[in-house]
Amino acid sequence: MAEVNNLPYKRILVKLSGEALMGQDAFGINRDTIMQIVAQIKTVVDMGVQVAVVIGGGNIFRGMAQSAKGMERATADYMGMLATVMNALALKEAFESIGVKARVQSALSMQQIAETYTRGKAMQYLEEGKVVIFGAGTGNPFFTTDTAAALRGIEMNCDIMLKATNVDGVYTDDPKKNPEAVRYQTVTFDEAIQKNLKVMDATAFALCREQKMNIKVFGIFKDGALKRVVEGEDEGTLVHI
């Protein structure tokens, strides 16, 4: 097993969509799926890699999309933030059930169920080997959890932001629809813009580009993929300056 000092990435930010927790279900949290995800992360934690996680809320809030129609955007966004905190608590419980210490920090104050986000405390937890799960996005409406991931990754001085998806990288076309689609091994930020490769939302993408935070897009359900990413192997797509 590689020693952490020999790894290219020693502190990572993993961005998980809420939909990733659904498995084959229509909404909510699939227990087998969430355990599969935390097992992958445990593998790299056991290698000594420090891991922060930002989680979305689409598995919960998109199930209420019809109810949100006609709702003021800010109100709907706050509801989405609450969904991410529910997912963060589920992740924490799943981690601890397999012996990984985890902490939830929320951008919104809700002290009975989660610590309020503070950068110093989050950094301390990472250095102690705990997984830190950030909920409630940035704490502000009109910003996505992609942007929250970019922001927290930069604040935590992470070596890279890993966007965990259902597809094992960025392709020339939708690989599910076009069997001829080819995976990019690496692509620059400028090339991603020119080719209109939708790596993540524009605000998050611009923030990573400006702060020189590289992004790796990989398939979270591909066995051993996260381990291969932190070991620097050809897995997923690296978006770089």
**Residues 182-229: tens digit of each pLDDT:** 999 999 999 999 998 989 999 999 999 999 999 999 999 999 999 999
Residue ranges per domain, the chain?
A: 4-240
Condensed to tens digits (0 to 9), the pLDDT of residues 68-127 reads 678 888 998 999 999 999 999 999 999 999 999 999 999 999 999 999 999 999 999 999
75 has binding-site annotation? no
Cα torsion 200, 205, 207, 212: sign: positive
Q: Say if residue 53's pLDDT is above 80.
A: yes
CB burial string 150-176: b at 16+ within 10 A, e below: bbbbbbbebbbbbbbbebbbbbeeeee
222 has binding-site annotation? no
144 has binding-site annotation? yes
Architecture of domain 4-240: 3-Layer(aba) Sandwich (3.40)
18 has binding-site annotation? yes
137 has binding-site annotation? no
In whole angstroms, what is the distance from residue 73 CA to residue 182 CA? 37
174 has binding-site annotation? yes
CB 44 within 8 A of CB 230: yes
17 has binding-site annotation? yes
